[in-house]
């Protein structure tokens, strides 16, 4: 059977920025501010002329060191790598059955849509709202998702809670 990729964790546009991405952006911003402070040092009050530029540059370098440490540990310790789940992933293929969406009341007001479905006795569930910051599939019908009963699909999923990593749909 011929499939096309409907959703993939690695290329999802809705994926939130990773912790190391936030550190990298912050470090870059702090270093730029540090360089600007060094360039315009004579316009600063005298009490900041000596300490401010070096403090800011030191903070930027510390953030960059943190970023590189995280990158190193992800490569040397696979259990820290969020994409190591892809190496342990499983695949199931078949028709979607028991697709259901349920609207739940959120504890602080508002609502949240939760969807579930089965393929070959493997159950999947996901929320239309991703508050945890975890990279996850969340395209319910309300968010433009097209999954429905009797669709032929191939799902790549992780070992923990059947976390969806990739959805491929039949071209037929």
Give the per-residue pLDDT at 108: 76
Q: What angle do CA 141, 116, 91 make, to 5 degrees?
A: 105
Give the per-residue pLDDT at 79: 54
- Tell me phi and psi for residue 78, to 5 degrees: -60, -25
23-33 residue pLDDT tens: 888 888 888 88
For the chain, the structural domain boundaries read 3-15+86-170, 19-80
Give the per-residue pLDDT at 82: 52
What is the distance between the alpha carbons of residues 155 and 67, in angstroms, rounded to a whole number? Answer: 33
CATH 1.10.3470 applies to domain 3-15+86-170 = no
- Closest-CA residue to 16 (of 133, 126, 165): 133
Residues 6+ apart with CB under 8 A from 155: 91, 92, 93, 119, 122, 124, 164, 166, 167, 168
The pTM of the full predicted model, rounded to 2 decimals, is 0.58
What is the distance between the alpha carbons of residues 24 and 26, in angstroms, rounded to a whole number? Answer: 5
Give the per-residue pLDDT at 170: 94
């Amino acid at each position: 059977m011929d499939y096309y990729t409907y959703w993939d964790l690695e290329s999802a546009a809705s994926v939130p920025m990773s912790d190391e991405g936030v550190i990298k952006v912050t470090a870059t911003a702090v270093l730029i501010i540090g360089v600007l402070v060094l360039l315009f040092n004579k316009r600063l009050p005298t009490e900041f002329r000596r300490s401010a530029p070096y403090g800011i540059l030191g903070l930027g370098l510390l953030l960059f060191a943190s970023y590189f440490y995280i990158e190193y540990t992800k490569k040397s310790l696979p259990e820290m790598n969020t994409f190591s789940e892809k190496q342990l992933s499983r695949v199931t293929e078949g028709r979607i059955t028991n697709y259901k969406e349920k609207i739940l009341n959120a504890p602080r007001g508002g609502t949240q849509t939760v969807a579930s479905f089965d393929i070959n006795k493997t159950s999947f569930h996901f929320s239309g709202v991703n508050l945890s910051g975890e990279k996850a599939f969340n395209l319910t019908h309300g968010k433009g998702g097209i999954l429905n009963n009797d669709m032929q699909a191939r799902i790549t999923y992780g070992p923990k809670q059947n976390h969806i990593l990739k959805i491929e749909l039949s071209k037929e």
